RNA sequence: GGAGAGAUGGCCGAGCUGGUCGAAGGUGCAUGACUGGAAAUCAUGUGUAGGGGAAACUCUACCUGGGGUUCGAAUCCCCAUCUCUCCGCCA
């Protein structure tokens, strides 16, 4: 969420920035409400100050054994007036807050302006798409032929967009998770976190999934629990409401979790294969940074995510998302897109974002530069490091061989205990 | 799931027979004095958010969260959450 004072002082900056996202938002009613808020607040606080001092008078009179009835009646009337003001104030503040929670983040100046993904900017490429001397298969065909992915039974026991991994398929999924975690914790300096897969609505509010994107998530009926759509939610909220010390920053966490997404708006898209599932695995990287370092941290975070693809030998490209294609909470996002021969195209496998203080303000995550300094908001960042299911799909498709087997990438052989899936 | 106890400032901890309590005391931290330097000691300061003010400063709110009683609530009542103990159950 944006800073109320900032919006009040720079409404045009906000409107312009949001226009870049294709968001035609008027702040007129918002600013009017904000003016009303301060008028009521000043009035209510003056009356409260009066009530406090008169109540003290009552106390003194009573202690002196004198009659305080007249004064008490006066304060009672004052109290009624305050109640009316407080009620109106709450209404105004609620709607102001509601506005703020629904305003997306302001894109960073380096973000290309455009209405959708057609304006995204390719930053760099790694590797060459493999050339096959046979007709390459989709990963779902490879998986079924090798009997390591069972889509039909996934549908039987759960429904569409659920898949069962079997044998070396299950082992491959687990190997990829372990490889990612080992690399990030041992080589890139992240601390491993294993978070809860369900969180409360307050955490969802903190990272920006709520209130706007309720439909995208699974909610446990009769409770305040949501299945996490990404480990970003529990891990970023780890420090919610805390004041960190500047020397602790940057804090770098790597977390494996299952991720659950309702995919409400994606009916009919990517229905086959592992690309779009209701449940998938992901290793997420999360950083808490000093404001002045967050863009350097975004670059290194993205590089850390790229490293896993490089070590796996998977061709990919890095893309800077345009203002119209970015997520709600993000100020700048790089997507990594892996080459999938079955699609004959690149597909998103990681998304690395700097949220600046947008999430930190919602989740109230702050730090102090020195002992008696005022707390400031940290900058939060996160990125997939990377999506596991799509990695497995990419390995199957890029490493398939003419005889139907799949070579195991060099770095995974120790995890797999074999060098080919046949 | 049943019974009971509890939640106070960075931390510990008093207050909880309602008014002088933003809250004793300790500790931590900061600044200064002392010292060749440090320790110890002494002095002073030290929560957050919001409103007003050029500033000094001042007002309001916050003692887990939400309601209520009252002229007035950290203190009384109700609800929720969490923690601890005992019992039950369970991986």
Determine whether the distance from the CB of A246 to the nearest atom of strand B is below 7 Å: no
Determine whether the distance from the CB of A102 to the nearest atom of strand B is below 7 Å: no
Q: Which nucleotide minimizes the distance between its C1' and the CA of A79? A: B71
Determine whether the distance from the CB of A42 to the nearest atom of strand B is below 7 Å: yes
Cα–Cα distance, A247 to A160 (Å, whole number): 48
Residue reference for tokens 């995919």 = A263
Q: Is the dihedral of CA A126, A127, A128, A129 positive or negative?
A: negative
Give the start-end residues of each E strand in A205-322: 225-227, 243-245, 251-260, 279-289, 316-320
Instruction: Tell me the three-class secondary structure of A39-98, residue by residue.
Output: HHHHHHHHHHHHHHHHHHHHHHHHHCCCCCHHHHHHHHHHHHHHHHHHHHHHHHHHHHHH
| pLDDT reported for residue A25 | 79
- Both tokens of residue A63? 């202690």
List chain A residues with pLDDT less than 50.
none
Q: Which of A37, A261, A361, A362 is catalytic?
A: A261
Give me the interface pTM, i.e. the ipTM. 0.86
Q: Which nucleotide minimizes the distance between its C1' and the CA of A42? A: B51
Residue A192 is a catalytic residue: no
Residue A362 is a catalytic residue: no
Counting residues of chain A whose pLDDT is more than 70, the rounded percentage is 100
At a CB cut-off of 8 Å and minimum separation 6, what does A391 contact? A176, A308, A312, A314, A338, A349
Q: How far is the CA of A369 from the C1' of B38 (A)?
A: 26
Q: Which nucleotides of B are covered by protein (CB under 7 A)?
A: 10, 19, 29-30, 45-46, 48-52, 59-61, 71-72
Residue A124 is a catalytic residue: no
At a CB cut-off of 8 Å and minimum separation 6, what does A301 contact? A285, A287, A352, A381, A382, A383
| pLDDT reported for residue A368 | 85
Residue A276 is a catalytic residue: yes
Q: Which helix (H) or strand (E) holds A5?
A: helix A4-9
Residue A390 is a catalytic residue: yes
Q: Which helix (H) or strand (E) holds A379?
A: strand A379-387
Q: What is the pTM of this model?
A: 0.92
| pLDDT reported for residue A70 | 87
| End-to-end Cα, chain A, rounded Å | 51
| pLDDT reported for residue A40 | 93
Determine whether the distance from the CB of A76 to the nearest atom of strand B is below 7 Å: yes
Tens of pLDDT, residues A134-172: 999 999 999 999 999 999 999 999 999 999 999 999 999
């Amino acid at each position: 969420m944006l800073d109320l004072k900032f919006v009040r002082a720079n409404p045009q900056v906000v409107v312009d920035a949001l226009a870049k996202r294709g968001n035609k938002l008027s702040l007129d009613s918002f600013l009017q409400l904000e003016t009303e808020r301060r008028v009521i607040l000043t009035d209510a606080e003056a009356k409260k100050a009066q009530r406090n001092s008169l109540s003290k008078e009552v106390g003194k009179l009573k202690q002196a054994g004198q009659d305080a009835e007249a004064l008490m009646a006066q304060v009672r009337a004052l109290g009624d007036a305050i109640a009316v003001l407080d009620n109106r104030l709450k209404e105004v503040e609620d709607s102001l807050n509601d506005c703020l929670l629904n305003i997306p983040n302001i894109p960073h100046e380096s973000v290309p302006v455009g209405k959708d993904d057609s304006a995204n900017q390719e930053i760099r490429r790694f590797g060459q798409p493999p050339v096959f001397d046979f007709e390459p298969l989709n990963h779902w065909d490879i998986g079924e032929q090798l009997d390591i992915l069972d889509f039909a039974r996934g549908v039987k026991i759960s429904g569409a967009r659920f898949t069962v991994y079997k044998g070396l398929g299950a082992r491959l999924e687990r190997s990829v998770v372990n490889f990612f975690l080992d690399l990030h914790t041992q080589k890139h300096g992240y601390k491993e976190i294993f978070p809860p897969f369900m969180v409360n609505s307050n955490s969802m509010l903190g990272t920006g999934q709520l209130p706007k994107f309720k439909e995208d998530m699974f909610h446990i009926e009769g409770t305040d629990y949501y299945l996490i759509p990404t480990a970003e939610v529990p891990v970023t909220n780890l420090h919610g409401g805390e004041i960190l010390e500047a020397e602790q920053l940057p804090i770098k966490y790597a977390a494996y979790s299952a991720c659950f997404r309702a995919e409400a708006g994606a009916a009919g898209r990517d229905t086959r294969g592992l690309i779009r599932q209701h449940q998938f695995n992901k290793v997420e990287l999360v950083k808490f940074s000093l404001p002045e370092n967050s863009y350097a941290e975004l670059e290194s975070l993205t590089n850390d995510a790229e490293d896993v693809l490089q070590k796996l030998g998977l061709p990919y490209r890095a893309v800077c998302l345009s203002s119209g294609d970015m997520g709600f909470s993000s100020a700048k996002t790089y997507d990594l897109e892996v080459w999938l021969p079955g699609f004959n195209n690149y597909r998103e496998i990681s998304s690395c974002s700097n949220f600046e203080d947008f999430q930190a303000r919602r989740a109230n995550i702050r730090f102090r530069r020195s002992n008696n300094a005022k707390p400031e908001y940290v900058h939060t960042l996160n990125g997939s490091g990377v999506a596991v299911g799509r990695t497995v799909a990419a390995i199957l498709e890029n490493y398939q061989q003419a005889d139907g087997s799949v070579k195991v990438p060099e770095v995974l052989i120790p995890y797999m205990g074999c060098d080919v899936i046949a």
